[in-house]
């Protein structure tokens, strides 16, 4: 009974369900296809990372005597799509059945559903049990809750996994140590130096391929030094646990020019493609806590991001799709300005984040949420355009994780399905948590007039513009009370200056 086991680019785990009962005589199929690189114009670095990781994973399997059929992007007969390559492989191998793990994106799940008709043998689609919470478990949890709040979901995941539990109580008596995780960086605090990984011959081949085939996509391939194999990924994770995790919590929300990574793990792309298992990342973090090498606020914060936010976000995606993609409760319609692609803006916070993402396909969470995301919310950019931008530019971006973060977390486009109020903030937040404002053409403390930071007028313009939609939210009471107390002329000035700024944004749609 020979099976063809189809492993997608974000399923690079030896323990993936499609390989769990791998037998001698089976073949593992992996394919590089143009359709996946082009359905949005992914950052060049993301494509290079994924193809290099896929090729290294295939080599690792071969070293264990697994038979791998690997189709390269430039193979002459490559049809360019998952379906076309699966059909060709079925002709080549004449398997009894195809075994595959469910994908991370709705559009691919639809594709897979059609394979049962389009492929000349049985197709078995298995659950992705790399996630801790199954679809059924998430639905069961969601059914029992009027409001979907990550915190309550997270506590159940803590109980179920046993992470940081003392019997049935949370370690050190509290579920969440977030209040200790909001320190700005003092200049004396230095981030540890990161390990880098040299480009081997195979990865260089991929970089050359991406440069010639996708050189017109956003982003740079220069100085590629990210892990691409299981061995390197584990080394990177271990380095993080030893060197950066202890300060991860305290400085989780801080931002500093020229230091994109600070104490963050930088492992999202490695977890999402399968090179690191989320449980092993949490296991190592918990060990560090039990051994006394990392404090509770760091370890709890890190584990919460993974068994809390990551699992919750995935649950929301599959529960809400396909309608979720079109959510636009705030009726935001403005086009995304060109500087999201060119990086040419005099708002220094955005400029720093755009430069970093172009160079490395990475920004950390607070840059994504409170700088770029906050700006998108305040300006009222069209959620479909914002979704596409986030899916293109980050090396860890897959729709299951990108979409709820954009639709629900930054844009409030789902009307508060899981966020109790919009994450809207004026310049003050960015000034407090970063050194960006010191070098900016605008003044963070100036509220209106020449040289005032646009975030300040944009904030109140957003609040005023969405009054009918947000005023009923009890968590917005104080904000609307402040707006109502504001002098009428001041409100007019704010709205006029915001309109001038918004009208000045150039969005040619050429990028």
| Contacting residues toward ligand FAD, per CB under 6 A | 264-268, 271-272, 302, 305-306, 309-310, 313, 364-365, 368-369, 373, 390, 394, 396-397, 401-402, 405-406, 409-410
* Residue closer to ligand FAD, measured from CB, 28 or 299: 299
By CB atoms closer than 10 A (0-12, 13-18, 19+), residue 471 is middle
Q: How far is the CB of 245 from ligand FAD (least distance, A)?
A: 9
Query: Whole-angstrom Cα distance, residue 89 to residue 68?
Result: 11
Which among 10, 274, 14, 18 is positioned nearest to 123, based on CA atoms? 18
* Residue closer to ligand DLZ, measured from CB, 62 or 290: 62
* Residue closer to ligand DLZ, measured from CB, 9 or 422: 9
Per-residue DSSP letter, 381: B
Q: How far is the CB of 45 from ligand FAD (least distance, A)?
A: 14
For 279, other C-beta atoms within 10 Å of its C-beta total 15
* Residue closer to ligand FAD, measured from CB, 13 or 305: 305
- Residue 33 binding partner per list ligand FAD, ligand DLZ, none, with a CB distance cut-off of 5 to 8 Å that depends on partner kind: ligand DLZ
- Residue 402 binding partner per list ligand DLZ, ligand FAD, none, with a CB distance cut-off of 5 to 8 Å that depends on partner kind: ligand FAD
Q: How far is the CB of 213 from ligand FAD (least distance, A)?
A: 23
Write out 436-490 in H/E/C secondary structure. CHHHCCCECCCCCCCCECHHHHHHHHHHHHCHHHHCCCHHHHHHHHHHHHCCHHH
* Residue closer to ligand DLZ, measured from CB, 275 or 349: 275
What's the distance, CA 488 to chain centroid?
A: 41
- Residue 369 binding partner per list ligand FAD, ligand DLZ, none, with a CB distance cut-off of 5 to 8 Å that depends on partner kind: ligand FAD
- Residue 365 binding partner per list ligand DLZ, ligand FAD, none, with a CB distance cut-off of 5 to 8 Å that depends on partner kind: ligand FAD
Q: How are beta strands 169-170 and 165-166 bridged, if at all? A: antiparallel
Q: How are beta strands 122-126 and 27-31 bridged, if at all? A: unpaired
What phi and psi values does residue 303 have, to the nearest 5 degrees? -65, -35
* Residue closer to ligand FAD, measured from CB, 6 or 154: 154
Q: How far is the CB of 105 from ligand DLZ (least distance, A)?
A: 4
Residues lying near ligand DLZ in the complex (CB under 6 A) are found at: 8-10, 31-33, 36-37, 42, 47, 50, 103-105, 108, 398
Q: How far is the CB of 115 from ligand DLZ (least distance, A)?
A: 14
- Residue 32 binding partner per list ligand FAD, ligand DLZ, none, with a CB distance cut-off of 5 to 8 Å that depends on partner kind: ligand DLZ
Structure tokens of 388?
A: 């596409």
For 92, other C-beta atoms within 10 Å of its C-beta total 12
User: Which single residue brings its beta carbon nearest to ligand DLZ?
Assistant: 9
* Residue closer to ligand DLZ, measured from CB, 247 or 311: 311
For 119, other C-beta atoms within 10 Å of its C-beta total 20
- Is 430 in a helix, a strand, or coil? helix
Q: How far is the CB of 398 from ligand DLZ (least distance, A)?
A: 5
CA dihedral sign of residues 94, 95, 96, 99: negative
- Residue 103 binding partner per list ligand DLZ, ligand FAD, none, with a CB distance cut-off of 5 to 8 Å that depends on partner kind: ligand DLZ
For 473, other C-beta atoms within 10 Å of its C-beta total 16
- Residue 191 binding partner per list ligand DLZ, ligand FAD, none, with a CB distance cut-off of 5 to 8 Å that depends on partner kind: none
* Residue closer to ligand FAD, measured from CB, 410 or 424: 410
Q: How far is the CB of 263 from ligand DLZ (least distance, A)?
A: 28
- Residue 93 binding partner per list ligand DLZ, ligand FAD, none, with a CB distance cut-off of 5 to 8 Å that depends on partner kind: none
- Residue 452 binding partner per list ligand FAD, ligand DLZ, none, with a CB distance cut-off of 5 to 8 Å that depends on partner kind: none
Q: How far is the CB of 507 from ligand FAD (least distance, A)?
A: 19
Whether 253 contacts 182, CB under 8 Å: yes
* Residue closer to ligand DLZ, measured from CB, 47 or 52: 47
* Residue closer to ligand FAD, measured from CB, 234 or 491: 234
* Residue closer to ligand DLZ, measured from CB, 103 or 454: 103
Whether 491 contacts 464, CB under 8 Å: yes
Q: How far is the CB of 347 from ligand DLZ (least distance, A)?
A: 30
Query: Whole-angstrom Cα distance, residue 361 to residue 353?
Result: 10
Query: Whole-angstrom Cα distance, residue 129 to residue 465?
Result: 44
Q: How far is the CB of 423 from ligand FAD (least distance, A)?
A: 8
- Beta-sheet strand order (sheet of 97-101): 67-71, 27-31, 3-6, 97-101, 122-126
* Residue closer to ligand DLZ, measured from CB, 88 or 235: 88
Q: Which whole-number Å values give the CA distances from 5 to 71, 100, 128, 129, 401, in the listed order?
A: 14, 6, 14, 16, 25
- Residue 405 binding partner per list ligand DLZ, ligand FAD, none, with a CB distance cut-off of 5 to 8 Å that depends on partner kind: ligand FAD
Q: How far apart are the first and last CA of the chain?
A: 49
Residue with the two structure tokens 């060197």: 243
- Residue 37 binding partner per list ligand DLZ, ligand FAD, none, with a CB distance cut-off of 5 to 8 Å that depends on partner kind: ligand DLZ
For 358, other C-beta atoms within 10 Å of its C-beta total 18
Query: Whole-angstrom Cα distance, residue 23 to residue 25?
Result: 6
- Residue 384 binding partner per list ligand FAD, ligand DLZ, none, with a CB distance cut-off of 5 to 8 Å that depends on partner kind: none
């Amino acid at each position: 009974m020979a099976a063809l086991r189809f492993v997608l680019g974000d399923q690079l785990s030896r323990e993936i369900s499609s390989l769990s009962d791998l037998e001698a005589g089976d073949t593992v199929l992996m394919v590089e296809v143009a359709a996946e690189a082009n359905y949005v114009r992914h950052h060049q670095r993301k494509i290079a990372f994924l193809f290099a990781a896929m090729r290294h994973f295939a080599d690792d399997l071969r070293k264990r005597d697994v038979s791998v059929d690997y189709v390269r992007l430039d193979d002459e007969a490559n049809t360019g799509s998952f379906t076309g390559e699966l059909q060709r492989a079925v002709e080549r191998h004449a398997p009894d059945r195809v075994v595959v793990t469910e994908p991370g994106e709705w559009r691919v799940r639809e594709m897979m559903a059609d394979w049962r008709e389009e492929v000349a043998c049985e197709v078995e689609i298995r659950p992705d049990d790399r996630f801790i919470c199954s679809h059924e478990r998430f639905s069961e949890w969601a059914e029992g809750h009027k409001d979907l709040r990550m915190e309550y979901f997270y506590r159940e995941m803590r109980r179920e996994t046993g992470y940081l539990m003392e019997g049935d109580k949370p370690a050190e008596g509290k579920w969440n140590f977030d209040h200790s995780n909001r320190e700005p960086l003092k200049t004396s605090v230095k981030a540890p130096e990161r390990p880098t990984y040299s480009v081997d011959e195979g990865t260089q081949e991929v970089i050359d391929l991406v440069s010639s085939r996708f050189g017109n996509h956003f982003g740079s391939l220069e100085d590629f030094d990210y892990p691409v194999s299981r061995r390197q990924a584990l080394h990177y994770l271990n380095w993080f646990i030893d060197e950066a995790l202890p300060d991860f919590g305290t400085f989780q929300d801080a931002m500093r020019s020229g230091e994109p990574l600070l104490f963050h793990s930088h492992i999202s792309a490695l977890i999402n493609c399968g090179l690191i298992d989320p449980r092993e990342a949490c296991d190592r973090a918990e060990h560090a806590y039990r051994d006394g090498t990392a404090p509770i606020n760091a370890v709890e914060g890190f584990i919460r991001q993974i068994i809390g936010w990551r699992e919750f976000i995935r649950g929301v995606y599959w529960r809400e799709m396909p309608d979720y993609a079109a959510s636009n409760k705030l009726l935001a319609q403005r086009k995304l300005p060109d500087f999201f692609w060119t990086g040419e803006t005099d708002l220094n916070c955005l400029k720093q984040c755009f430069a970093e993402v172009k160079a490395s396909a990475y920004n950390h969470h607070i840059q994504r949420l409170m700088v770029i995301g906050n700006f998108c919310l305040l300006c009222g950019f069209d959620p479909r355009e914002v979704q596409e931008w986030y899916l293109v530019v980050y090396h860890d971006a897959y729709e299951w994780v990108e979409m709820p973060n954009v639709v629900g977390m930054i844009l409030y486009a789902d009307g508060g399905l899981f966020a109790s109020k919009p994450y809207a903030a004026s310049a003050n937040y960015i000034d407090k948590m970063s050194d960006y404002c010191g070098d900016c053409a605008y003044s963070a403390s100036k509220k209106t007039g020449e040289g005032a930071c646009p975030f300040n007028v944009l904030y109140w313009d957003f609040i005023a513009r969405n009054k009918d939609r947000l005023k009923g939210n009890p968590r917005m009471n104080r904000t609307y009370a402040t707006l109502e107390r504001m002098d009428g002329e001041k409100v007019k000035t704010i709205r006029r200056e915001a309109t001038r700024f918004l009208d000045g944004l150039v969005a040619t749609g050429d990028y």
